[in-house]
Amino acid sequence: MTYAFDPELAAVIPMLPNVDASDLDAVRASTESMLALIAPVGDPPVDVRDLEVPGPDGAPDVRLRIFSPRGRTEAPVPAIYDIHGGGFILGSVDIDDQANTRFCEELGVVVVSVEYRLAPEDPFPAGLEDCYAGLVWVRAHADELGIDAARIAVHGISAGGGLAAALALLCRDRGGPELVFQYLGVPEVDDRLATQSMTEFVDTPLWNRPNAIVSWDSYLGAGRRGGTGVSEYAAPARATDLRGLPPAYVSAMEFDPLRDESVAYALALVAAGVSVELHLFPGTFHGSGLVATAEVSKRESAEAVAVLRKALRL
């Protein structure tokens, strides 16, 4: 299929890796190699440390990476709780190091990135429960982390956006930590794979329908995708009551199979009385922000900082 990509993005597409989720070992190795290539050089401009905190009952501890501003005052600051992407099957906290360092430095906030168990080795609800356990620990230790517990936002891209949306639902329904905002970047929220964009975009860069099939089959278990009984905490698009959730920002990319489910989820939030900002970036594809020099990617990146600044009342 031919796509009207932004010219700056189109020029780089031939150099992007071929992500084939059906060969999981290979794509995980490729992801790690790519992260090594783009890893920042030298000391970060913020303080970074890793902690192991208690996981869900009967499960392993959860690793948190904490980014704290240098030269901070005694006054508590807001926090961003970051959940990395990777289709529920790839990645680690390392994926978001650059973005989280930038959020910490530019916004002067604490950023906590959570390492959660991946599918298919640990299918739903393992990853989500890890995210919840990590957030509960952060809220309980807000004072020692220098965090203003009344200003914690959740942030995630792709599968991380889906987990962020699910975490907001879980916090509401369990009476867990109160979130002030949910940043849902191109969120993966619908296992039914029936939207127009998901049906048509079978060969788009980095993410496409075949990869989405592997992602959901891994996360839910074979034979469950699209069927009855799939939890709304696995696929938030299935939620029938979105009332009382925190305000949201939702982004979508024009030639991304996740485009239509992202837009639909944003509209469902609006219909439930949740304040939402929705932005569809033209000429883009899933993960096109990796082409950081493109003008549309610069706008996307700048907007993320601006949106979080406003949401955290900075």
Phi, psi of 85 (to 5 degrees): -90, -170
Q: Which residues pair with 181 in a beta bridge?
A: 153
> Environment class of residue 226 by beta-carbon count within 10 Å: exposed (0-12), middle (13-18) or buried (19+)?
middle
At position 54, the amino acid (one-letter code) is P
Helix (H, G, I), strand (E, B) or coil at 5: coil
Asked if residue 282 has a cis previous peptide bond (ω within 30° of 0), the answer is no
- For residues 277 and 202, what is the distance between their CA atoms, to the nearest angstrom? 28
b/e map 14-36, b = 16+ CB within 10 Å: eebeebebeebeebbebbeeeee
- Catalytic residue annotation: 158, 256, 286
Instruction: Compute the distance between CA of residue 247 and CA of residue 273 in angstroms, rounded to an integer.
Output: 9
The whole-angstrom separation of Cα 275 and Cα 258 is 21
**Exposed/middle/buried for 165, CB within 10 Å: 0-12, 13-18, 19+?**
buried
Phi and psi angles of residue 17, each rounded to the nearest 5 degrees, phi first:
-70, 150
Contact 82, 156 (CB under 8 A): yes
The residue ranges of DSSP E strands in 29-146, in sequence order, are 47-53, 62-68, 77-83, 110-115
